[in-house]
Structure 1
Amino acid sequence: MLNLEVIIVFFLVLIRMASFIVACPLYTITGIPSLVKIGFAFTLAVLVTPLVQPPVLEFPGGPWGFGLAVLSEAGVGLALGFVCTLVFGVVRIAGALLDFQVGFAMSAVFDPISGNMNTLISRFLFFMTLVLFMNIDGHHALINALVKSYELVPLTAAGISGEITLLIIRIFADTFALAVQICAPVVAVLVITDLAMGLIGKTAPQMNIFQLGFPLKIAVGVTSLALLLPALTSVFKYIFDTLQRDLLLLLKGLA
């Protein structure tokens, strides 16, 4: 006969696992059926529950106290997934800025993965980041971090402080700063191209600069990005290291 305490611990573990999978961009790809995601969260909960130190199952207020404990575990999982979303959002923002400069912003299409309108380079960089992340077993590292979270933030022990708010703001600001740094070389080349076309338009007014500018900027932008891709591997490594650091800081703040 199953012990009631074991069932409660398993349910709380499942809440944190499921909340993380719901929020993490790596596990929210719409091509994956919902039943697979639910089964994945259930399997993780079954494997992790024996490793979790059972808390003192005393919920002040009865059902209301248990409801607060459930919300607390859901908040931990959602916070971890939200940090992953912000870090992976670096390449989306960088791609969107590049698309705007190159001229692909008008070709925005609906991305079923994110549920938003995304442009070509933004989707390309995001998929490339996912491939590299899984190639280095980053998805296993995320699961390991989720398991280790029970050591830093035990069940029903999470708390919110001012440090968490400052950390989220700092991660949000770093996301935009790093995105601008990634796209800065290509944007600089495109700005020089705009200046060159402006000088050509002044010296040769008979040339249709607007008609020449669109294909030229696309060619220059795509070529510059292709030349920059080998150097981006170190940037992606920094992004993955930043993800691990931010998750650790978040867990320490929640503890």
Structure 2
Amino acid sequence: MEWINQFPAFLLIFVRILAFLATLPIFSYRNVPNMYKIAFALFFAYIIFFTLDVPTMEVEATFFLLIIKEVLIGLLLGLIASILFYAIQVAGAFIDIKMGFLIANVMDPQTGAQTPLTGGFLYAFAVLFLLVTDGHHLLLDGIFYSYAYVPVDEMTVHFGGASVMETAAGAVSTMFVIAFQMSFPIVGALFLVDVALGLMSRAVPQMNVFVVGLPLKIFLGLPIMLLMLPSFFWLVSNLVDEIVVTMRTLLQLFGGA
């Protein structure tokens, strides 16, 4: 019955992984059944449990505080990854503003929220690219190595440090920078179209710029989007690397490094 003495430590590992999957991109989608999420968390916790040197713990008052700590760590790591990955949605919103698609938001079945039309299109490409290149393994690698920085029996975690806040704010600013880089080819080209239409309206006042401009932007924006896909995938690869670096940095700060 030795496993009963090790079950509290296994439960802490399981709670952190389950909280991590609840907010992590791809794994937290609504179209993934909750039963599969729980089963995957159990399987992953089983692997980590026999990989780590897990101490024997007792169920007491401190144990419930450790559960809260594990939930917070898992949620924060998954949340910071989601914030950075949603740079693709923000880039789609920037593009839709210029192309005129922002008036037609669609419901995203993965998250249950309204999403820009172009943002959903690019987000689907990014998710497929992430799965094909095994980028989701890098995300799972983050939760695996989290136990090296913040052990399950460690009670002291630096959640409210100034460095943690700076890292979180830096992640948000990085998200907007990457979103601007993704959308700049289309936004910049359509800005030049706006300038040309403004000059034409001055030269030919009888022309209705609003009637001509909307289909012209769509006609030019879609081929430009096709041409920018190679650079888009390169930026998605950089985005995944940035997610991994940010997660490692947060874990070091949580552990007081």
- State the TM-score bracket (shorter-chain normalisation): over 0.9
2:71 to 74, 95, 115: 74
- Contact 1:73–1:156 under 8 Å retained in 2: no
Tell me what 1:226 maps to: 226
Determine the C-alpha separation between the residues in 1 that align with 2:149 and 2:13: 14
- Contact 2:5–2:58 under 8 Å retained in 1: no
Tell me what 2:148 maps to: 151
Give the aligned residue type for 1:240. V
Unaligned segments of structure 1, at least 5 residues? none
Give the aligned residue type for 1:12. L
Give the aligned residue type for 1:196. A
Normalised by the length of structure 1, the TM-score is 0.93
Is 1:195 paired with 2:195? yes
Q: CA deviation at 1:58?
A: 6.5
Tell me what 1:45 maps to: 45
Q: CA deviation at 1:5?
A: 2.8
Give the aligned residue type for 1:119. P
Aligned length: 252
Give the aligned residue type for 1:84. A
Q: CA deviation at 1:206?
A: 2.5
Q: What percentage of aligned pairs have identical amino acids?
A: 28
Give the aligned residue type for 1:159. H
- Contact 1:186–1:225 under 8 Å retained in 2: yes
Q: Secondary structure at the match of 1:27?
A: coil
- Contact 1:72–1:156 under 8 Å retained in 2: no
Determine the C-alpha separation between the residues in 2 that align with 1:212 and 1:101: 14
1:102 to 87, 99, 102: 99
- The range that moved more, 218-227 or 74-83, is 218-227
Q: CA RMSD in A?
A: 1.6
Determine the C-alpha separation between the residues in 2 that align with 1:156 and 1:212: 65
- The range that moved more, 223-232 or 121-130, is 223-232
Q: Secondary structure at the match of 2:151?
A: coil
Determine the C-alpha separation between the residues in 1 that align with 2:64 and 2:24: 23
Q: CA deviation at 1:105?
A: 0.2
Determine the C-alpha separation between the residues in 1 that align with 2:231 and 2:176: 19
